[in-house]
Amino acid sequence: MSDSRVTMQMKKEQQDALADRVLEDSTSFHVRPCLILDLPPPPRHLAPLYSLYSYRRHVTIICKPSLHCEAVMRRSLTCNPFTSQPARGIGTRAFHSSLVDIARQRAEQLDHIYGSDSTGLQPYSPEWWNRLRSGCIWGSHFRPERRQPYMLAQIQLRDQLDCIEEQKSELHRSGPELHRRIVGLLTARYAHQSAAFGGNKLTLEDALMIEDQLLRLDISSVNSLSKLSAQPLPSPSSLLPRKAPSQVIALRNMVLLTQYVAQNAMRNPAGPGISLGEIKLLAKILFADTKNASVEYRGTETWLEEDQTRIFPEVSEVPALVARFCRWQTAMNNNLHTLIQAAHLSAYFLHIRPFHDYNVRLTRLLMADFLIRRGYLPIVYHDVESEEYLQLVSRAQDGYAKPFCRAVVNTQHDLLLDLIR
């Protein structure tokens, strides 16, 4: 019997026993012990009570969600308590040492961000909670809306940006139809790359086949996301019968939304862009027919496997920070070039990571809408893999925006140059 089936069949007594074992031997208010198990996520009703993180491929860390630390490891289990089988990947001293180092680094950062020295408030006091829910603690520390790194990148990339403006004028010289056709040709490629950045294994050829069938059904031509979310979608077996259904569903949803965003942006180039309510509708359609049925903001902490010490907002901050992002996007500074703004928009939204999954895909939809409305092409990178993309975004979030902006600018330049040739 698989671990997932064992987890689904766990009785309440076993779940309570797990909770007791996680919480026992606590040494302070901020530091909790954690278990290291080779288990899938715990049952749904435990999710609000514990922060759950994936470490490497086979290890899951479950700990009490103290806002100030992710728990310094005090001990670890050497077997899975529900199957009595050895737990993989945790037997070496080097593994233990690296895990402790990561936990301590995160604990130090979280204490620095959320502690009384930074906030001037006693943690967990009513005033502290109010400030937390406003998004001001994390937002004031990281300041994701700051323009200086992007202004500096714009100065350094000025020659390329000037060249792109000439190319863009050439593209639109004969009217909007050429722009419309080129965007249509890039839609499946953009959707495929977005899904691939999120771990989807299907090919570009698969994406093109899905796009062809969706275009025949004309689903994406509806004029609102609320109507699109109510549309019945073709089954994975009718699209790609020999491929993994979960992979087909994820790519189908991304292709459909990319089609909708592109068509809607070209229909309403002067429109305000994607609103707060539409972000949730995008997430609803992205999650349609997947295991991620909920479209609510994430209810647990999150981290990147590629960068395990990076701090994302605490769950109570997410709603306020998404609303803050939408206000910022509406009033975005016009002193920045559109392509630089698009890079800034992507890094900002991905720093919040408001949903439990598909944040990269959602960010790419926001970026496509932003660029297409302003007459540019969606960014289909050449030879950029998921890990490199996330590294570029992470560096931009840390204040070094030039590499990410350069990737966006160079890609737009190459796309336009190919068209002119």
Q: Rounded to a whole number, what is the distance in angstroms from the first to the last CA of the chain?
A: 59
Q: Is residue 105's pLDDT more than 50?
A: yes
Collapse the DSSP code of 203 into the 3-class scheme (helix H, G, I; strand E, B; otherwise coil) and give the result: coil
325, 329, 333, 337: CA torsion to nearest 10: 120
Cα–Cα distance list, 196 to 204, 303, 384, 389 (Å): 10, 19, 11, 11
| Nearest C-alpha neighbor of 360 from the set 382, 389, 400, 383 | 389
| Nearest C-alpha neighbor of 64 from the set 102, 10, 27, 19 | 19
Average pLDDT over residues 270-287: 89
Q: Which helix (H) or strand (E) holds 254?
A: helix 245-267
- Say what the pLDDT of residue 317 is: 94
Q: Is residue 84's pLDDT more than 70?
A: no
- The secondary structure of 301-359 as a DSSP string is ----SS-TT-----GGGHHHHHHHHHHHHHT--TTS-HHHHHHHHHHHHHHH--SSS-H
CA gap 352, 397 in Å, rounded: 10
- Say what the pLDDT of residue 415 is: 93
CA gap 340, 402 in Å, rounded: 9
Cβ proximity of 420 and 167 under 8 Å: yes
- Say what the pLDDT of residue 334 is: 74
Q: How confident is the model at residue 403 (pLDDT cuts 50, 70, 90)?
A: very high
Residue-wise pLDDT for 334-344, tens only, equals 789 999 999 99
Average pLDDT over residues 402-408: 97
* pLDDT averaged over every residue in the chain: 78
CA gap 331, 334 in Å, rounded: 9
Average pLDDT over residues 164-178: 90
Cα–Cα distance list, 237 to 163, 217, 233, 243, 252 (Å): 46, 16, 12, 8, 12
Residue-wise pLDDT for 345-388, tens only, equals 999 999 999 998 899 999 999 999 999 999 999 999 998 998 89
**CATH classification (class only), 145-420:** mainly alpha
Q: Which helix (H) or strand (E) holds 55?
A: strand 51-55
Collapse the DSSP code of 403 into the 3-class scheme (helix H, G, I; strand E, B; otherwise coil) and give the result: helix
Cβ proximity of 278 and 227 under 8 Å: no
Q: Is residue 271's pLDDT more than 80?
A: no
| Nearest C-alpha neighbor of 366 from the set 332, 395, 398, 336 | 332
Residue-wise pLDDT for 34-56, tens only, equals 333 333 443 333 333 333 333 22
Q: How confident is the model at residue 166 (pLDDT cuts 50, 70, 90)?
A: very high
Ranking 98-112, 172-186, 298-312, 337-351 by mean pLDDT, the lowest is 98-112
Is pLDDT larger for residue 10 or for residue 334?
A: 334
**Both tokens assigned to 391:** 């590294």
Average pLDDT over residues 139-144: 94
Q: Is residue 175's pLDDT more than 60?
A: yes
Query: Over pLDDT 90: what percentage of the chain?
Result: 50
CA gap 122, 116 in Å, rounded: 5
Is pLDDT larger for residue 95 or for residue 148?
A: 148
For 169-192, b/e burial (b = at least 16 CB within 10 A) is eebeeeeeeebeebbeebbbbbbb
Residue-wise pLDDT for 207-225, tens only, equals 999 999 999 888 777 888 9
- Sequence ranges of the chain with CATH classification 1.10.3290.10: 145-420
Give the pairing type, strands 59-63 and 35-37. Answer: antiparallel
Highest mean pLDDT among 65-69, 103-107, 160-164: 160-164
CA gap 197, 398 in Å, rounded: 20
